[in-house]
Amino acid sequence: MTPEGKVKAKVSNLLKGFDDCWYYMPVPGGYGKPTLDYIVCKSGRFAAIETKAPGKKPTQLQQTTIKAIEEAGGTVFVIDGDLGELWDWLHATH
């Protein structure tokens, strides 16, 4: 498994632990709008997650997508290993 694949496995395992959390992992096909690795909805809140190998940063296109999601009021997590902020977001009630 690739380093990024290991991070994705950790994120998926965390998300699976919440019955009230819907998530989707889009399959890139080169058509339509660019997106991130995960689209998540929990308790009426929207988030997107970009996973990276430890120490790696989002590409310019990913940064543009992150900015657009945040400007629309969504939450974005860039995760290269530490799931702490995502854990906190998943446990928050609104």
- The answer to whether the pTM exceeds 0.75 is yes
Count how many domains the chain has. 1
CATH number at residue 7: 3.40.1350.10
pLDDT at 60: 96
Q: Which amino acid is at 40?
A: V
pLDDT digits (tens, 9 = 90+) for 10-67: 999 999 999 999 999 998 777 778 899 999 999 999 999 999 999 999 999 999 999 9
Percent helix, strand and coil across the chain, each rounded to 5? Answer: 35, 20, 40
Q: Which domain holds residue 42?
A: 3-91
The pLDDT-based confidence of 93 (bands split at 50, 70, 90) is low
